[in-house]
Amino acid sequence: MHKNNRQNRRRVRRGHQQNPWFRQHVSDERCNTVAQQSPQDSGRADDDEAPSTSSGTAGSSSAPDLPGYYFDPEKKRYFRLLPGHNNCNPLTKESIRHKEMESKRLQLLEEEDKQKKKIARMGFNASSLLQKNKLGFLNATSYCRLAHELRVSCMQRKKVQIQSSDPSALASDRFNLILVSGRERPAGARGIAAQVVSSWFYGTNQCLLVNSVCWASLNHLDSHILLCLMGIAETPGCATLLPASLFVSSHPGERPGMLCSFRIPGAWSCAWSLNIQANNCFSTGLSRRVLVTNVVTGHRQSFGTSSDVLAQQFALMAPLLFNGCRSGEIFAIDLRCRNQGKGWKATRLFHDSAVTSVQILQEEQNLMASDMAGTIKLWDLRTTKCIRQYEGHVNEYAYLPLHVHEEEGIVVAVGQDCYTRIWSFHDACLLRTIPSPHPTSKSDIPSVAFSSRLGGFRGAPGLLMAVQQDLYCFSYN
């Protein structure tokens, strides 16, 4: 009789185990039981196997880390992490990380709207700055620099209302590149200092993707815009010069006309020369090649490289062209060299990742560069050594520009996490971190540009930020 009872219990237990609802119920009970264990018992779990998202959240709620599980502080229980392709449980590391980033972004936006006065440094405000200046603790240069930093930290976000006779164009077009004239003159008849270039250019019957853009000074300073257009399908790429005045048009539906075009397929970068010895010349960085073209004579000079050239800039005093490569190398080309012997590379610097932006400073003794590893370095061109590094920039693989403004004493860069960071140029102190007004996305990284004369000759310094179809202004108070 006892033997028959044991066999019946085994059959019932075996039937429960084969039931999927029973297995799920037991799994949930085990998860709840593990969540109630003491830290000493659950501390045996290997911390290296736990996901990074669970470590930060669980650590803040004093809950132990468990490999393959995520602790929700709101529901106070563990949830199992499954692969992203599993439709039954969409809880993945990426979704948790995106949710945490979005929560942080909304919190920072709320703090910025409430807090009118922001502090860039500890114990740094307007009253202490004025008091130190009156007591003679600061000279004129230091006082102006710190005053600029204080204004940067107090900039407030304002949305710019864009007026257009074609509302459908505003709904479809997106801001992808922004150019702001650094000259003390309005960039158009209406005094608009921003020149916006859409990702698609309709100058011809075919659609071409804008890969790079820079100012060109053909008739006068910043008179034209140089565009490097990447070919799509059977359409070849080219470099095109357009008058800057055509981008600010009062006629509805008018498209900018083409001034002159050069067939240069596959250009990654472009730069315009203001040096007297290389007048009316522009350079394009290609795949393992640098091509320097004279607009007037049509003469071309080609230099072979060992890697793709992603960033370029001409020096003003000397006929040098600085190039940043995908391999991490930064080198200068002396345009006076007619052959590619051993001495055609004037300067060589090295980063650990692909260089996305190079900026030559005014005295042309220093160069600042950023790469795809999120590293921003200030180099001394005389000693070829790094003298300063700016921490906090986020980049993994994106092609992101770098903006340096020595007059204001700031360095501006947008990270792949969609945060705009502003550093002090002189001591690499992070002055401010501006969250994106839109939800963070890899395809919606903000485009920014800083101008010392925003809106014209009498304009105040400020920062322009464009995300999707919206344009925002951060101006000095």
Residue range 201-247, pLDDT digits in tens: 444 444 567 788 898 988 888 888 898 887 666 667 788 888 877 76
* Global pTM exceeds 0.75: no
Q: Is residue 314 a contact partner of residue 273, using CB atoms and an 8 Å limit?
A: yes
Please report, for residues 189, 219, 418, the alpha-carbon distance to residue 456 in angstroms, rounded to integers and kept in the order given.
10, 20, 28
Q: Over the Cα atoms of the chain, what is R_g?
A: 28
Question: Is 281:306 a contact under the CB 8 Å cutoff?
Answer: no
pLDDT of residue 62: 63
Backbone angles phi, psi at 278, to 5 degrees: -130, 55
Q: Give pLDDT, residue 188.
A: 35
Give the closest residue to 309 by CA, choosing from 350, 341, 356. 356
Residue 398 near residue 416, CB atoms below 8 Å:
yes
Q: Are the C-beta atoms of residues 216 and 245 closer than 8 Å to each other?
A: no
392 near 421, Cβ under 8 Å?
yes
Is residue 366 classed as helix, strand or coil in its secondary structure?
strand
With a CB cutoff of 8 Å and minimum separation 6, the contacts of 161 are none
Q: Give the model's pLDDT for residue 184.
A: 43
Q: Report the pLDDT value the prediction gives residue 34, as an integer from 0 to 100.
A: 38
- Low-confidence stretches of the chain (pLDDT beneath 50): 12, 16-61, 184-206, 249-256
Q: Which of 367, 364, 368, 357 is nearest to 390 (CA)?
A: 368
Q: Which residue has the tokens 């051993």?
A: 342
pLDDT score, position 67: 76
Instruction: Give the C-alpha separation, 273 to 292, whole Å.
Output: 10
Strand blocks (E) in 393-459: 402-405, 410-414, 420-424, 430-434, 447-454
SS3 106: helix
The two tokens of residue 320 are 């040098």
CA distance 440 to 417: 7
* Residues 346-374: tens digit of each pLDDT: 889 999 999 999 999 988 999 999 999 99
Residue 213 φ then ψ, to 5°: -150, 145
pLDDT score of 345: 77
